[in-house]
Amino acid sequence: MPTTARVDASDSLLIDEALLGMSEERLLDVRGNRMAMIFQEPMTSLNPVFTIGEQIAESVMRHQGLADKAARQRALDMLEKVRVPDARQRLDAYPHELSGGMRQRAMIAMALANDPALIIADEPTTALDVTIQAQILSLIANLQTETGTAMILITHDLGVVAEVADDVMVMYAGRVVESGPVKTLFDDPQHPYTIGLMGSMPSIGPREGRLATINGRVPTPAEMPGGCRFAGRCPFVIQQCRDERPPLLELSPGHFAACIRAPLEQHVGVSA
């Protein structure tokens, strides 16, 4: 993280092991091994001067201590697992020789190569067209089911959230404003920001009127308000919202919202 970043949590655990305050040497063992990353743009994440096979093999050699031949076989196995066609040939291809979808499959193969406990996927389909996006999302969902690996999916696409997620955490200006099971959050959003997001989401069926918009702008880090950070844009705001930071309150089993006025009636058509 940047040196200017601040972590509000008292601790962060991965399988009962504290990550905050962990030594750099131990972090090197965790990264790419117990915890892996799928980046948004593989072309800027993959090394352009090494083949796909070399980059996957490097990771398993580093973390599993495999010899060259065994590491290369592991790389091939992973490319086949993520359904890269002609995997043996792609093993010796450079990133620029692959399509965007193939590069993203290679990134997924690299992330899964060491059987991590957790994968963080940062907007993994943003740079892909709709058809390839659907294929990658289906692949991720199937692999997660097969491997049992936990996944944190970072995305602004509510359609992706609805298709892939089990539980959702909505963040605004660096804070969690609502969380809960995906169906609960879509059926009964209870934070004004979540309601605004749902109201601005286009649907296939007939729609009356215009899509809702969220007025105003996100505050910059230098001007974060002391109370609710959404107060300046919220149609339900009262003075208490500006004065006090709202706690995350449990509204129903597993469903939390950081709003002092919750539970709210659904006013999805209101600009929130």
- In a shared domain, residues 185 and 144: no
Give CA angle at 240 (239, 244), nearest 5°: 130
Q: Which pLDDT score, from 0 to 100, does residue 77 have?
A: 96
Long-range Cβ contact pairs of 157-160 (< 8 A, separation 24 or more): 157/125, 157/126, 158/197, 158/198, 158/201, 159/201, 160/125
Cβ within 8 Å of residue 258, ≥6 positions away: 175, 176, 177, 178, 191, 228, 246, 247, 248, 249
- In a shared domain, residues 146 and 230: no
- In a shared domain, residues 193 and 130: no
Q: How many structural domains compose the chain?
A: 2
The model's pLDDT over 178-216, given as tens digits with 9 standing for 90+, comes to 999 999 999 999 999 999 998 888 777 776 777 788 999
Q: Give me the phi and psi of 222, to 5 degrees please.
A: -80, -15
- In a shared domain, residues 245 and 146: no
- In a shared domain, residues 260 and 176: yes
Q: CA 81 to CA 84: how far, in whole Å?
A: 8
Question: Domain of 179?
Answer: 169-201+213-267
- In a shared domain, residues 42 and 122: yes
CATH number of domain containing 111: 3.40.50.300
The widest CA-to-CA distance across the chain, in whole angstroms, is 66
The model's pLDDT over 109-167, given as tens digits with 9 standing for 90+, comes to 999 999 999 999 999 888 788 888 888 888 988 888 888 899 999 999 998 899 889 99
Domain-embedded: residue 67 = yes
Domain-embedded: residue 208 = no
| More confident site: 14 or 119 | 119
As beta bridge partners, residue 119 has 36, 151
Distances (CA, A) of 146 to 23, 142, 187: 32, 6, 29
Domain-embedded: residue 71 = yes
Q: CA 185 to CA 191: how far, in whole Å?
A: 10
Cβ within 8 Å of residue 70, ≥6 positions away: none
Domain-embedded: residue 11 = no
- In a shared domain, residues 160 and 217: no
**Under 8 Å between Cβ of 214 and 196:** yes
Domain-embedded: residue 272 = no
**Under 8 Å between Cβ of 253 and 183:** no
Domain-embedded: residue 184 = yes
- In a shared domain, residues 63 and 116: yes
Domain-embedded: residue 1 = no
- In a shared domain, residues 43 and 59: yes
Domain-embedded: residue 121 = yes
Which pLDDT band, with edges at 50, 70 and 90, does 2 fall under? low
71 has a pLDDT exceeding 70: yes
- In a shared domain, residues 176 and 103: no
- In a shared domain, residues 173 and 161: no
Please tell me the pTM assigned to this model: 0.83
- In a shared domain, residues 154 and 179: no
| More confident site: 14 or 138 | 138
